[in-house]
Amino acid sequence: FHEHVFLERHLTEFPSSGPVRHFMQLVVTGLSKNPYLTVAQKREHIAWFREYFEKKRSILERAES
């Protein structure tokens, strides 16, 4: 049960503050409330966002400055 609900531990690889962190906190909150996805599917969603934001890192850094 705790693996379905407490997903915040997967946020360690994201920035500690800023818009990406806020967005990912919302994603994790939504995933934790979704009873229809498996734990593996929830982890896959988080991994997809991690890869997406990593690919867009240069764009995000330019937008913040």
Quote the tokens at residue 65.
């400055």
The pLDDT, as a whole number, for residue 48 is 96
Q: Give the chain's count of helices (H) and strands (E).
A: 4, 0
Give 5-43 pLDDT, tens digit per residue: 668 888 888 888 888 899 999 999 999 999 999 999 999
Spatial distance between the Cα atoms of 63 and 13, rounded to a whole number of angstroms: 20
pLDDT of 61 above 80: no
Who wins on pLDDT, 4 or 38?
38
Give 46-55 pLDDT, tens digit per residue: 999 999 999 9
Domain boundaries, the chain: 2-64
- What pTM was estimated for this model as a whole? 0.81
The pLDDT, as a whole number, for residue 9 is 84
SS3 track for 28-45: HHHHHCCCCCCHHHHHHH
Spatial distance between the Cα atoms of 65 and 29, rounded to a whole number of angstroms: 28
